[in-house]
Amino acid sequence: MDLHQLRTFLAVAATGSLSQAARQLHIVQPALSRQMRLLEDEVGSPLFVRHARGMRLTDAGELLSEHARRALRELDQARTEIASLAGEVSGHVVLGMLPSVGGTLAARFTSRLRRECPRVALRVVSGGGGYLLKWLESQEIDLAVVYEPSAPSHLDIRPLLEEPLHLIGPAAAALPASVTMAMLADLPLVLPSAQHALRLLIDRAAAAAGVALSVIVEADSMEMQKELVGAGIGWTVLPAAALGHDPDVVWFSVREIAAPYLVRRLALALPLRPKRPRAVDIAAEILVREVHELVGDNRWPGARLFAAPAAGRKA
């Protein structure tokens, strides 16, 4: 058992799919299947239960996943500390975040960066996905947590996680336990404008389901969306993390959209540079570690890791 096997195993566990993990790791599926069989032979127990929609961890798999994440986390920590031995890291880092991410991630990441790299000055900016990508390409910011681009870009893209989207309504609304896309056709909706990444995702899902949405207000501000919904004007679609640490806050009723299962995928993006500042690379490593700990500790509502901790790719 080596680090490569553990990272590969965690990628399969995170995606719940051999084919999806193979695409993320850029290897063919038969080779990935063979690696998983060899790992199961080595530990002497099945690690996955296969079913029609993919695969899930067995009890042995859950145990190995916990220890593998811990081992890789310790290794990442050792790398950061060893790098510091060569000279204390200093510099200036500008981080961009989607508004719906900042409440979950910003404070924890900032605290960790200050603790591990006290001489690194940090500036955090918030903006929509389109703006963040433009700022990255113009190198106005150093790194950003964005919607994973669906088309190739001139950026270094590192998948982070996927999280389910929820139908958010007024607190007094009576919602069934399971919400389908078809149910949205009968609701007045408050959604971002057409060019917004979240709106594009929702519109594509609605079109695929043959559903015509009734959007009564377009609001690109997440806070404005929540305010309008809280006032009883309409309904919106957001990840649970956008509502803070408790998705069942008193002002809203919240249900996951289950048919089709609707998710958004987040990634860490950095500009492609011949030589990136050391402070930026270390900040990126710390941010990935923090995201994986939040998800691993169930502090990011409903989120699933979308790739192994050290995985990186250029999209």
pTM recorded for the entire structure: 0.66
**pLDDT, position 285:** 94
Q: Kindly state the tokens that stand for 50.
A: 């296969």
Specify whether domain 3-69 bears CATH 1.10.10.10: yes
> Mind listing the pLDDT tens digit for each residue in 287-296?
999 999 998 8
Q: What percent of the chain has pLDDT over 70?
A: 90
Tell me: pLDDT of 95 over 50.
yes
Per CATH, 88-161+264-314 and 164-263 having the same topology is answered yes
Tell me: pLDDT of 121 over 70.
yes
> Mind listing the pLDDT tens digit for each residue in 16-71?
888 888 888 888 888 888 889 999 999 999 999 988 778 889 999 999 988 888 88
> Mind listing the pLDDT tens digit for each residue in 257-275?
887 888 899 999 998 877 8
Specify whether domain 164-263 bears CATH 3.40.190.290: yes
Measured CA to CA in angstroms, residue 270 lies from 146, 245, 257, 283, 290 at distances of 10, 27, 31, 11, 17
Q: Where are the domains of the chain?
A: 3-69, 88-161+264-314, 164-263
Tell me: pLDDT of 83 over 80.
no
Instruction: Fold for 88-161+264-314, please state it.
Output: D-Maltodextrin-Binding Protein; domain 2 (3.40.190)
